[in-house]
Amino acid sequence: MKQNIPSIKIRNKKAYFRYNILETFTAGIQLMGLDIKLIRSGKVSISESYCNFFGNELYVNNLHLAERESDRVVVHKNKTERKLLLNRRELNKLQKRVDEKGLSIVPLKMYFNDRGLIKLEIALVKGKREYDKRNTIKQAESNRELDRLSKQSINKYK
């Protein structure tokens, strides 16, 4: 019997603009009570979240979960830290790389996997300079213009 798995994908679009992505990892996330319901309803934001090490454990901070109006239960803090579940080998690798100057860990997207578990894709990133951001904008605009012109030329010859 096939399980009905929701297709929620929450993306951090700002991360692709602000950072150069060096390496990505998939991590489980430790959630509490109503968090799953809020994520299924899409009331979560990872745009301003980041990851930190506390001891040998990796936590995601500023993961914003909106309050549900229909709940009569008192909801815990909206922006709390939640533990990420990774292999010890991956944690050690990330911790060594983060100790280098200028590298940090940022969540890219949150989604449900095949088994219906919530996963968080995190990335080891390095911040972009201002001129790199301008180049990214120029490339996106030129790609959009090329697509627009190619669509016009295809429609012209139909």
More confident residue, 132 or 87: 87
Q: Which CATH number fits domain 9-127: 2.40.280.10, 1.10.3720.10, 2.60.40.10, 3.90.550.10?
A: 2.40.280.10
Measure the CA angle with vertex 106, ends 100 and 112; round to 5°: 140
Q: Is 80 exceeded by the pLDDT of residue 11?
A: yes
Predicted model pTM: 0.74
Q: How many residues does the chain have?
A: 158
- The domain spans of the chain are 9-127, 129-158
Q: Summarize pLDDT for 27-75 with one digit per residue, the tens.
A: 999 888 778 888 887 788 888 888 999 988 999 988 888 776 555 555 4
Q: What are phi and psi of 33, to 5 degrees?
A: 20, -95
